[in-house]
Structure 1
Amino acid sequence: MNSPTVHPAQRIVDLGFGFIYSAALSAAAELGVADRLEQGPRSAASLAEELGVDARSLYRVLRLLASVEVFSEDNAGRFSLTPSADLLRTNAPGSLRSAALMLTQRIFWLPAGELVDTVRTGKDPFTRIFGAPFFDYLERDATQGAIFHRGMSSLSALENGPIAGAYDFTPLRRVVDVGGGHGGFLVEVLKAAPHVRGVLFDHRHVLAEARISEAGFAERCELVEGDFFESVPSGADAYVLKRILHDWSDEVCVRILRNCREAMTESGRVLVVDTVIPPGNGPHGGKVLDVMMLASLPGGRERTAEEFGKLFAQAGLRLSRVIHTPAALSITEAVAA
């Protein structure tokens, strides 16, 4: 669909049909089709009987996905796993089934369908559609909240190691992961830097599912309850903000960054782990994510290095460098101004 040889008219048509591919991917992931192909090729009729769905409809969905190398169909009409389809298996190493369900869930789908109104007014439709702002809604709707958090954990599991390995944490003594969730990224930091002590900072209900102990780092990591809008633990060499700032407006981001600035040592630094939008018209995952944020999170956005620099300056910090990683996210480092 993104080939530079595609005719301009066909490109427009392909983009217009893009949501159909998302819908097909979501259906296959929710039904667990990939799990049932682990033992080898099967026909849509056989799969449908086991799944309790309509065989003809399932075939048409899988045929579409096979056209983009998610599953493959042989001459006998049997479907098999491809490398991409294998990632939809629940127990596959690096499984993205939860991520696929999260990216195609209605909290993103429905607001995106009203994007033109967002562009006209500058206001997202999320609260009007769901009756509450994004994160409030996820707390109220346990099902949607679970889909979202499992999906985010799935994505994070792929990227945490490469991102942590792109930064030299070894000279540091104490690292606070601000809003660090279940601690997946901090675990990778502790693996990479044996002398670092960590602090996982988040709300109580989030820390209840922390993975620090099961990863074997209970002796080197403290779990601290709190709200990063109010304050963060003091005296650390580095404060990590991974996938935090992109959720919030500039004003809110400055408040969070100021809290980190006030808490860190004079030689400390703040490490913002988010996408950094590059200049130019080239494709970049951050540009897609940015429009998703536009539709669903008021104030949420992906930023350029220059925009990060402006936020830092307002918080008493200075942009020192941007470190690109093997993942889609970059590490934007700030030190005391």
Structure 2
Amino acid sequence: MPYDENRPAGDRSPAAAEEGLRRSAAFLVDEALGFVFPAALRAAADVGVADALADGPATPAELAAATGTDARNLYRVLRLLATRNVVAEDEHGRFTLTEAGQALRSDVPYSARSAVRMLTDRTFWRPAERMAHCLTEGTTAFDAVFGMPFFEHFAKDEETAAVFHVGMAAMSDAENAVIAAAYDFPDAGTVVDVGGGHGGLLLEVLRRNPALEGVLQDRAHVLAGHRLEGDKEVAGRWSTAEGDFFTTVPAGDVLLLKRITHDWDDEQCVTLLGNCRRALRPGGRILVLDAVVPRDDAPHQAKTLDLLMMASLTGRERTEADFVDLLDRAGLRLSRILRASAVLSVVEAVPA
């Protein structure tokens, strides 16, 4: 009988129980080796293998010459990536970038290369190794590894901060148009993208809603890389606002918080959401754009991201009940939840 890791052990004969334990051991060892795949994916992203495959099939030797790498070791990485359909090897030993692997290129729309490098950066990788610290101490492992909180570390390390902000922008690019289309924005007014990074979401919202104006709020060093400048579709309808959203939020009719609340603990989120409530104009709405963790055993990206939050930050992914409680504490009321993408939902809140 094929091994089913979800099947309860139950009452079985000694021989069946022993066989079950053998299969369990093999399954768990295979799962424990799972971390090697993202390491290989990052290595391929770092050296630009996908870009070298943009023109068609190539041998490891040809790819090594194009990327300045060792041909034998590059082949070993590609062989593992082929097991997950990122690349495919033909009968002549040449590798091709599959449809699933196309976004690893840096020169395509919705490139995920920067997102892959961010998610496998040491700021996530090293705390994840110390996840047991989160269980025994009840706190993030990041401080124990780096000696300071996550965002304080970024403020002191420009290179790491750049990896994070560029990676987050890349991770968001494929989501922004979908989210902008999923919500019925008002015919007029001001949309404020709170902690909006490089402004990819605000740009999509303004493009789809030509009567709206927008404000992009973030720290000065983040705003320096924003994308709003030079886009003719939104010209004259946007401004930037440098600031700390824990202190103040620009006034607006719709306030966007995309992948923000999951970074912070409940008390910090209550402060942030309270600032947003005070910044709302009459009839305004706050849109929390984050995952809503389903209450089942099915795989969901939010359940994986939740452990990254646990290991490296102070926040967490939240269930619907968690959002109801959080909003209530901030003087807000959950009005509805819209599924915006495979991962993210639109949690709409209004003043209570």
- Whether the TM-score (by the shorter chain) exceeds 0.5 is yes
Q: Deviations over 1:80-109 (max 9, x none)?
A: 110122211110222111111111111111
* C-alpha deviation, 1:45, in angstroms: 2.0
Q: Does the 8 Å CA contact 2:52/2:67 hold for their aligned counterparts?
A: no
Aligned match of 1:219: 236
Which one-letter code corresponds to 1:85 in the other structure?
G
Distance 1:310 1:197 in 2: 31
Assess if the C-alpha contact under 8 Å between 1:111 and 1:295 holds in 2. Answer: yes
Between stretches 264-273 and 138-147, larger displacement belongs to 138-147
The answer on 1:56 being equivalent to 2:72 is yes
Gaps of 5+ in 1: none
Partner residue, 1:301:
316
Query: Shift in Å at residue 292 of structure 1?
Result: 0.7
* 2:10 paired residue number: none
Do 1:172 and 1:238's aligned partners in 2 also have CA atoms closer than 8 Å?
no
2:248 maps to which of 231, 239, 252: 231
| Displacement of 1:126 | 1.0
Map of 2:346 onto structure 1: 331
Question: What displacement does 1:172 show?
Answer: 4.3
State how far apart, in whole Å, the 1-side matches of 2:302 and 2:347 are.
14
SS of corresponding position for 1:219 = coil
Equivalent residue in structure 2 for 1:22, among 15, 22, 38: 38
1-side partners of 2:259 and 2:282: how far apart?
Answer: 24
Q: Provide the TM-score with structure 2 as the length reference.
A: 0.90
User: What is the match of residue 137 of structure 2?
Assistant: 121
Distance 1:37 1:11 in 2: 34
1:209 maps to 225
CA RMSD of aligned residues (A): 1.5
Q: Is the 8 A contact 2:165 2:222 kept in 1?
A: no
1:267 match: secondary structure: strand
Q: Unmatched 5+ residue regions in structure 2?
A: 6-23
Tell me, yes or no, if the aligned pair for 1:237 and 1:264 is still in contact at 8 Å: yes
Alignment of 1:46-195 (within 5 A): 46-195=62-211
CA deviation profile, 1:36-82 (whole Å, cap 9, x unmatched): 11122111122223333222211111111111101111111111110
Quick one: which amino acid aligns to residue 324 of structure 2?
G
SS in 1 for 2:271: helix
* Structure 1: distance between partners of 2:264 and 2:178: 25
What are the residue-to-residue correspondences of 1:223-262 with 2, within 5 Å? 223-234=240-251, 236-262=252-278
| TM-score in terms of structure 1 length | 0.94
Q: 1:169·1:192 contact (CA, 8 Å) conserved in 2?
A: no
Task: Specify the code of the residue in structure 2 equivalent to 1:248.
Answer: W
Distance apart, 1:145 and its partner CA: 1.6
Partner Cα distance (2:130, 2:106) in 1: 32
1:198 to 201, 214, 217: 214
Q: Contact between 1:182 and 1:209, CA under 8 Å: does it hold in 2?
A: yes
1:251-271: CA deviation from partner (whole Å, max 9, x where unpaired): 000001111111212311111
Residues 28 and 283 (structure 1), Cα distance of their counterparts in 2 relative to 1, 3 Å cut: same
- Contact residue 161 and residue 188 of structure 1 kept, 8 A: yes
- In the alignment, which of 291, 296, 314 is matched to residue 329 of structure 2? 314
Deviation, structure 1 residue 283: 1.1
Residue identity over aligned pairs, in percent, reads 50
